[in-house]
Each structure stands twice: as C-alpha cells, then as structure tokens.
Amino acid sequence: METTLFTPYTMGTIKLKNRFLMAPMTRSRSSQPGDVPNRLMAEYYGQRASAGIIITEATQVSLQGKGYAKTPGIYTREQVDGWKLITDEVHRKESKIFLQLWHVGRVSSSKVNGLQPIAPSSIAAKGTHVYIFDGAPNGDATFIPVEAPKEMKQEEINKVTAAFVQGAKNAIEAGFDGVEIHGANGYLIDQFLRSNSNQRTDAYGGSPENRVRLLVEITQAVADAVGNNKVGVRLSPFISFKDMADPEILDTIMIAARKLEGIGITYLHLCEADWEDAPEIPDGFRVDLRNTFGNTIIATGNKTPEQGEYLLERGLADLIGFGRNFLTNPDYPQRVKLNAEMNTISDTHTLFGGGTERGYTDYPFLKDRNP
C-alpha cells in the first residue's frame, strides 16, 4: 500500500519524511524520584522513528500540573538532560519530535503530587480518576478519585502561563523540534474552554471569547518565547469524558481556531475519540476548520490508514496520527506499506507503568519475527 501517507510533507519550516505521526500516549515510565526521562524511553521513541514526526507523551510543566504517577516533567535540569537522550535518538533515526506540554488542572489528587488541584472553578470532575503506584502485587496502577480543585486566582493563572513558557524553552534546549500545547481531553486549558467546568465571572469566564483567553495567552507567550513555527496546539471538540460535556464547545473551538490562526502556530491537532461507538467528526466541521485555520491540521483517533488517506486526499488533514498501532508496531509505516500482519497489545497491565522493556520496547519488528 503506497499512498499519500508515505509522501514527504513540509510543516512550516520542518521537513517530514512522511505523513505518519506517532500520537502522544502516556506510558508512565519516567525514573523516580523526579519524573526524569531515561534511556529506556529513548529506546522506545527511537524504535518508532519511522514516523515522520513524533509527539511525546504528555509532559507536566510543573509539579502542580502533574496528575498521574511516573509521567515525565520538563521543569528541572535533570528532566531536560533526560529528554536530550530521547531527542538525540529520534534525530539519529532521521525523524522529528515535538514535546507535548501539559497541565492537568482539576484532574489530579494530592496523593499524586502532594498539592490540591487547581482549576478555573471549584468544580470537581465527576466520575474521574487518576492513578498512583502503591505496591500492588502485580505492579498495576491503583486508580483513585480526583479531588475537589481550588479556583485559580490571577496570580496562579500567571504562574501557569509562565510554566508553559519555561517548559517550551526547556524543550528547545533539550533538542525538540517544537512543542505542542495540550488543550484537549479535559485537562486545564480544556477546562477553561468549556462552560460546564468554567463558571468564572472575570475576564477568563462567561462568554466563549473569554473562555479561550487562557489558551490564547499561553499560546502567544510560548510562540513569543520559541517562535510560532515551533508551536502546535491540541484540541478535542468532540470528546466529553472527564465530565466535560458542553453544548457550546464547537463554537468555542472555532473562535479558538481563529485566534490561533492569528498567532500563526504551525499546526492544530484534533484529538478524536478512539472507542468503537465514539462520535464521528463530520466532514462539515472539518471543512469549516480548514477554512478557518490555514496551516497544518493533524487528525488523530484510532484511524485506519484508509481513513487517514480519505482525509489527506480531500485536504481535510495534512498529517494523520496513529497511537496504539505505533505502540505495538514500532515499524508501523513499513507494515502498512507491505500490508503485513500487525502486533497486538501483549499485556494491558504494561500500558501504564513498568520498569522493564516488557510491553514497552519488546514488540518485535517485522525483520525480527520468526518465519
């Protein structure tokens, strides 16, 4: 199968060898203490550098921004040095890599980071859990409910913005080709975007124009710090888990897209639901987004290569993100090209956490399979 997915693409000033994107996937493998990226992570990402571009797992910009155990950070010297192992390996394999900058907001617990969560409003996310590792016999994570958050004051909003900026600077120092601001999936920026989680009455709440303010301010500040050609943003207009259902979100997303177009960021990344009965994003929305945002658009969400090709051929997306297929198939583009058999998840217990290569770097390449 040789299709548009295999053609080179220039994203702003960055030349990509193909249109396969390895999507961000939390794996919880950072070294402790300190949430430091390590050589095992470098091996994992390097194995998957057949993708034209890799977006890393979500990476907290501060301890306050951490919501799950063993996720990596980008705010200490040790973390920056650890990430250099990863960028060196991916670049050695001739791919590109962006770091996803993350603050979880209310999706956290003091059992994870020792701090009360913060959010646009003091509203807990119903039915939402995070995980810790507390010595379960099989090594599994233990899921615990999130705690009620504290409503952010202006000083805390300023601190969060500064943390994203410093995280972006640290990422560039660590050798990344750029950064992705995580504004999706019910985390802090998404919490500000939605009317059900943001019930503020100041300049950051009320109207959709106000609710996009934090996203715009963070994005502009990061673009000013590292260059708009090195900044992407991830949004999830059709995802409502983590208690995020909002009837106004589509209009809000379009307002955000116009603002982001004005900043001139290099891409907009649509995170789409990846479960079987998930809502489909209608082509009409994609057309409206394309007419609103002129730079690269990325579509990610359990897509088949054929579905990705459909979007590419119609100009509704420029890059297609693949998650689980890259997790289990480090040589995923080659397998697609040859229509080869795919590896499947060997053990769900190793998806989140694990200190060895099992379920992480031990998925075989085609060349290593027994005949």
Residue 43, classified by CB atoms within 10 Å of its CB into exposed (0-12), middle (13-18) or buried (19+), is middle
Q: Which stretches of 216-347 are assigned E, i.e. beta strand?
A: 231-235, 267-271, 296-300, 319-322
Please, what are the domains in the chain?
4-368 (3.20.20.70)
Nearest in space to 3 (alpha carbons), one of 239, 367, 313 = 313
Peptide bond into 33 cis (omega under 30): yes
Q: How far apart are CA 188 and CA 192, in angstroms?
A: 7
Residue ranges in the chain whose pLDDT is less than 70: 1-2, 137, 274-279, 368-371
**In angstroms, what CA-CA distances link 165 with 28, 62, 171, 206?**
24, 11, 10, 26
- Which pLDDT belongs to residue 273? 75
**pLDDT for res 259:** 98
Residues annotated as part of the active site: 187
